[in-house]
Amino acid sequence: MSCNLQTVCDKLVTWTEKWQLQIAFDKCSIHRISNRDNVGSCDSVYRIGDRILRWSTETRDLGVIIHNKLNFNSHISDIAHKAHVRASLILRTFVTRDPMVLTKAFITYGMFIQFWNIVRQYGHPIRHAV
């Protein structure tokens, strides 16, 4: 298996050079999914070009934290923490304790954060409309 993965890494380097693309090495890692306890202690060394890839027990992909044993406790904890921070901010900001108002504020704030992340990632939508 290690030979095959290194071959794929070498082909990736060739492909990126051909298309003049850069690899985000800080986002590259080896992530083996297994129910064995010694999953992170593998002796194999993989490289992309001249850089050695690091082994990872958790990887974030498309906003989901994946643990090497497919345990989603970190992901659930991250979501709960973000919800707690949002709820605390809303409770500190609003004087009212009406559940309907606070629920609407919680949902609206979440939609605003999603919109802001899109604007930050892709630029201002009006600027690209021209």
> Any bridge partners for residue 55, and if so which?
30
Reading phi first (left if > 0) and then psi (alpha if -120 to 50, else beta), residue 46 is in beta
Domains of the chain, residue spans: 2-67, 73-122
pTM over cut 0.85: no
The average pLDDT across 99-105 equals 92
Q: Encode pLDDT of 24-41 as tens digits.
A: 998 899 988 887 766 545
Residue 67 has pLDDT above 60, yes or no: yes
Please, which pLDDT band fits residue 114 given cuts at 50, 70 and 90?
confident
What pLDDT is attached to residue 41?
54
